[in-house]
Amino acid sequence: METLGKAKRVRIYVNEDDTVHGKPLHHAILDLLRRENAQGATVFHGIEGFGPAGRVHVSHLVDVAVSLPILVEWIDRPEQVERLAPRVRELVRHGLITVDEIDILLFEPMPVRDLVPTASVRDVMSREVATVAPSTPVREVVELTLGKAYRAVPVVEDGRPVGIVTSSDLVHRGGLGVRLDLLQALDKPELHELLERLSRQKRTAGEIMTADPVTVRESTSLPAAAEVMTRRRVKRLPVVDAGGALVGIVSRVDLLRTVGAGYSRREAVPREMGLGGDQPLSSVMRRDVPMVHPETPLPEVFQAVIATRLNRALVVDQDRRVVGIVTDGELLERVTPALRPSAIRSLMRRLPFTHGKGEETVAGHTRGRKAEDVMSRRIATVREDVLLSEAIATMLRGDHRVLAVLDADGRLAGIVDRDDMLHGLIAPAPSAA
C-alpha cells in the first residue's frame, strides 16, 4: 500500500461546557488552529462517556442539560503540530490531549480557506514566530531550529525586527559549517561537538545576522509578497504592522498553499488571489535535470547532486523513466562518521567527493556503492500538461521539494521546485496565440 507521507494526529478530549475567555473551549481551539494555518480539524460531539471521576455522561431528550464529551481531532504536518501544540495546551485546563503518528493514504482537500480577492498577508501568515535577541548566542539560535521546519529566525529588539539569521548566515558567518537541513543527518556525538564548537566561538545573533531584513506589512497583497520573495530570492518574510512591530512570518509555502488547496477550481483560484493565471507546468519547469542511472558510482552521484542548486538528482533507467531520487541529506546519512567531514566538505563547497585512496576507500565507508543503493523511491511525478495549481497541490500534499515532470509517454521531461512554481504564479500566463 503506497502512502503519501507521515502526519501527526492530535486528539483533544474536553466537555461541551468548558470555556475559555467566555467562549466554548472547542470553538477557541478551532479559531486558534485556523488563524495559524493548520491543515484542518474536526469537532465530534459524544453521546455518552465517562472520565477519571467515573461519572457517566449520556445524552437523552429529557436530559439535555448534561455536559457531554467533545473530541477535537486535528491532523497536520509534524512540524506544525510541534509548533502549535503548546498553545493548544495552554487553552485546555482540564481534559486529555493525545498525539500519534499516522500514515496519509489519501489527501484530496476541498479549498480550505475562503479568501476574498483582496486577501492579504495577514490571512495566510503564521503568527507564532520563534525570535531571538541580538545578544542571543549562536548556539542557541541553532538549537532553536533543530527538528523544526523553519530555517530562519528573526532578530528582534523592542518588538521590531532588526535582522534575520538564515542558514546561510550560520554557515558563512556563524561558523556552523553545514546547512541547517543537513544537521539531522549527523550522529549525536557529532552534533554535540558542533554545538560545543559554536559555544567556544562566543558569537551572537547580532554579529552574524543579515541586518535590516526585507519585511512586508500584514496588509500587503499576496501577489506583492510573492513578487518580493522572487525578486529578493528569499523563502520567507517577517511581517510587521503599521508601527513596524513583528506580528508574524509568511513563507513561500504559505503563498503556494492558497492556490494548491483549491486547485480543483482550476483557473479561478490564482486569478482570485490576484496571481498570474493558471498555465501548463511545461511553461514553468526546467529541462536541465540533474540525473544519474541506478548503476552510477557513488562519487559521480555526489557530483550530480552538487552540480545544481536543487541539492538532489533524479535516478532514471535507460528509457528515462524515473525510478528514484537522491538528496544531499540522504547521501550524508549513508556515510560513516569517518567519512562525514569529507562528505560535508563536498556538499557545502561543491567539490568532488574523494577520501584517502579514492573510490575503494569511499565504498568501504558507505552503505552502498551505486545510486540504486542510496536512492529513495519516494519521488512525486506529474505530467507536463497538468496545470500549475494542480502540481502545487501534489507537491504540498506529500511535502515534496521537487516534482519530476513526465511527458505523454511517462519519460522524464523536466523538473520543478517551489521557487519555479512561485515564479510561475506571478508571471502572466502565456498567450494562447
- CATH of residue 88: 3.30.70.120
Nearest to 40 by CA among 110, 88, 144: 110
192 and 145 in a single domain? The answer is yes
Q: What is the average pLDDT value for the chain, to the nearest integer?
A: 82
358 and 332 in a single domain? The answer is yes
Largest CA distance in the chain: 84
Q: How many domains, the chain? A: 3
194 and 268 in a single domain? The answer is yes
Band of pLDDT at residue 270, cut at 50, 70 and 90:
very low
Burial of 317 (0-12, 13-18, 19+ CB in 10 A): middle
- Beta pairing partners, 366: 335
Q: What is the mean pLDDT of residues 197-224?
A: 93
CA distance 313 to 350: 14
Band of pLDDT at residue 66, cut at 50, 70 and 90:
low
Band of pLDDT at residue 394, cut at 50, 70 and 90:
confident
CA distance 38 to 240: 21
pLDDT at 364: 54
CA distance 382 to 4: 14
Within a domain: 433:
no
Q: In this structure, what CATH number is given to the domain that contains residue 357? A: 3.10.580.10
Residues of the domain holding 174 = 121-272
* Residue 330 vs residue 37, higher pLDDT: 330
Whether residue 431 has pLDDT greater than 70: no
